[in-house]
Amino acid sequence: MFLNRIFMPLYLRCLRDVTFIKGKTVTNGKTRVHYIPNKSIVLIHTLLINELGKFKIPLPSATGWEKGSSVRKNLLRHVNGDYLFHTFWYKVDISHAYEHVSPEGLALILHELYSGVPPAEIKSYLKSFFFLPGKTKHVVTENTGGLVEGFPASPKLFNLYAEFMIDTNLREYCGKSAITYSRLGDDLLFSSDVPIGKQKKKQIQDIIALGFLPINFKKTKPFNLLKLGEDGYVVNGVGIRNRNNQAEFFYPRDRLSRLEVMLHSALQGAWMNANVIEGYMGRFRESTFGVRYAHSRRTKREERLVQMYRKYKNRLRLFSYMESDGSHCNDKKFKKLHQIFFWYCSKLKHKGDIEVFAMIEDFIQSTRTQRKATV
């Protein structure tokens, strides 16, 4: 049985502890609901992920939500034999992707892997541990709100669902039409060196509709890299363009300015969300890290930003170390951290912040004394 194979040792304990926390984040003025799983749910999802990993299911179109995937790798698929990005692009966005995953459809897909288990049984366990209870305002399906956003196995299950529902058919059609296709999560990218006309776009939309995944037409748009010139186009936070007869990545100026402001404010002592800064820096690295082709050199402004980020990380290490007693550090790390201390203290003293400087200096002396006493 499906339950015996995966969940039975933990079923009785987990069944009593399947509640989860609901939270909200606001991104670009839009409120996004996410869920924080408890330890039992995390354990169940980890077991399923490991179980699915044994099958080594190929997902040739998926370049997101998989180990080793990135926006850069997704875009590099759309480079032609001359090391230039394709000219004609069509970007398609799936509306509320997780909410439109059907437990019936996913159960039938898993039944192909676990042929000895009835689809009804698989569906029952999926609805118990992997799907939201009740309906949502976006979906009208059988008593389910779709995959849970924030749960560990949701990205893996969505990639598996999309592979069988849309990816296979899209690859087949695009192969016949000289179109390159890739999917980063719920963002579908099509590119070609020949125009992607209305008939081709309609065919693509029909294939996606057959997979019961609705298109968000507000975010779906075509673009022509040749017409855009050096301005390029931003895809998932990374800019692309063809310049000097080669494909090139770049980091958008507005995002660069925003990142500079956040780092400058953090270095001045203002509280900034570290996760937001790390997210921006992730896209910055993908945009400015050179490879054999699609090479991008960092400008002087970008190099200054890298230096600001290093100072910001040193500041974080400084205060995280001040909150500890230093006992977890080996001699090499202890010496490095004190170098950071002295660098930061010199900056404070130069600015005239004598009170903070004295506090840090006292902390250094006390940790040295404690460390000598323990040796």
Per-residue confidence (pLDDT) for residue 240, from 0 to 100? 94
pLDDT (average), residues 275-299 = 75
Find out whether 288 and 249 touch, Cβ atoms under 8 Å. Answer: yes
Per-residue pLDDT for 336 more than 90?
no
Residue 286's nearest CA partner among 240, 245, 253 is 240
The DSSP output letter for 55 is T
Distance CA 357, CA 346 (A): 8
**Residue 1: which H helix or E strand, with range?**
none
Give yes or no for residue 374 having a pLDDT over 90.
Answer: no
pLDDT, mean of residues 29-34: 64
- Reading the block at residue 194, the tokens are 């020949």
**For range 277-293, the mean pLDDT:** 78
* Parallel, antiparallel or unpaired: strands 88-93 and 131-133: unpaired
Residues above pLDDT 90, as percent of the chain: 49
Q: Out of 3-7, 17-21, 164-168, give the one with best mean pLDDT.
A: 164-168
> Is the pLDDT assigned to residue 332 strictly greater than 50?
yes
Q: What is the number of other CB atoms lying within 10 angstroms of the CB of residue 328? A: 9
In a 3-state reduction of DSSP, which class is residue 165?
helix
Residue spans per domain, the chain: 2-243, 253-374
pLDDT digit string, tens, across residues 113-141:
888 889 999 999 999 899 988 665 555 44
pLDDT at 272: 84
Q: Which whole number is the average pLDDT over 77-88? A: 94
Bridge partners, 249 (sequence order): 240
Give the pLDDT score at 101.
94
Tell me the pLDDT tens digit for each residue of 191-235.
999 999 999 999 999 999 999 999 999 999 999 999 999 899 999
26/83: higher pLDDT: 83
In this structure, the strands spanning 30-36 and 21-27 are antiparallel
**Nearest-10 Cα torsion for 270, 274, 278, 279:** -100
Q: What is the pLDDT of residue 315?
A: 75
pLDDT at 352: 46
Q: Where is pLDDT greater, at 336 or 183?
A: 183
- Chain-wide mean pLDDT for the chain? 81
Residue 270's pLDDT band, with cuts at 50, 70 and 90, is confident
What pLDDT, on a 0 to 100 scale, did the predictor assign at position 235? 95
